[in-house]
Amino acid sequence: MSFSGRNALITGASRGIGRGCAEELGKAGANVAINYHSHSGEADEVASAVRLGGGRAITLQGDVSNRERVEEMVAQTAAEFGSLDLFVSNAVYSDRQLMLGSDLDGFRRTIDVGMWGAFYGVRAAAMQMVKQGKGGSIVVISSPHAVIPFPTAMAYNMAKAAIDHMARTAAIELAPHRIRVNIIHPGWIDTPGERKFYTEEQLAAGAATLPWKRLGRPDEIGKAVAYVLSDAAEYMTGSTLTIDGGVSLPWWSTRSGGGL
């Protein structure tokens, strides 16, 4: 797949899955705008990796729960590269607490980033693509927990369920504009964010319980995102692609103690 001459914006792209997406698009020659919230050094590393693939790269600091800033980042991407052709909504925040004792500030922050941030990004990107009049492709990074409840993660589960339906609705509304919208459900992926909740020993033990006996890698999600964004998937919209090493299989989802 070649993305030479194509211009992308990826939210939460300095680390983890977002980084995997940016680097895979960069390898295929895309120009990539790398949004980050607080990891500027890592965002610069991703930009360097994108440039090695022959594309241009810019870094954009911004909180995706701020609608005005999201709209600015879309405008900055289009101004820098000449257009916005590809958008990946990936930025996320999550706390782990039981509902009955949850800190509502963290609960709201999870919703603000995970649900509203995704909506702001999809809406702003779609508006730019409609204005350009040449179609486009959008991917929303969601989770199997849009459909499989995970205790201590109610806000995260709620946000992911909401953005799944948002993306499918957007796919219907944007089809006349030749803008595709699809969803990715990654499983338990080995990212820096997992270290917020688990030790290395716990991650290793949890990985051993998975059907595929290991955690997924960000580059594996990045490759899938690149395919879905590409012209090879031109007939695909409103679809959900699950890449989870079997986590969503019924036999495993009924067990306790799993991650994500």
Q: What is the pLDDT of residues 77-95, one digit of tens each?
A: 999 999 999 999 999 999 8
Identify whether 260 is part of a domain. Answer: no
C-alpha–C-alpha distance, residues 159 and 161, integer Å: 6
Does residue 11 fall inside a structural domain?
yes
pLDDT tens, residue by residue, 54-73: 999 999 999 999 999 999 99
- How many domains would you assign to the chain? 1
- Predicted model pTM: 0.94
Q: Residue 236: pLDDT band by 50, 70, 90 thresholds?
A: very high
Mean of per-residue pLDDT scores for the chain? 94
Residues marked as catalytic = 156
Q: For residue 46, what is the domain's CATH number?
A: 3.40.50.720
Does a structural domain hold residue 135?
A: yes
Tell me, yes or no, whether 80 lies in a domain: yes
Calpha distance 49→19 (Å, rounded): 10
Q: Is residue 259 part of a domain?
A: no
Q: In this prediction, what percent of the chain has a pLDDT beyond 70?
A: 96
The verdict on residue 127 lying in a domain is yes
Q: Let me know if residue 258 belongs to a domain.
A: no
> Would residue 14 count as lying in a domain?
yes
Domain range for 215 is 7-253
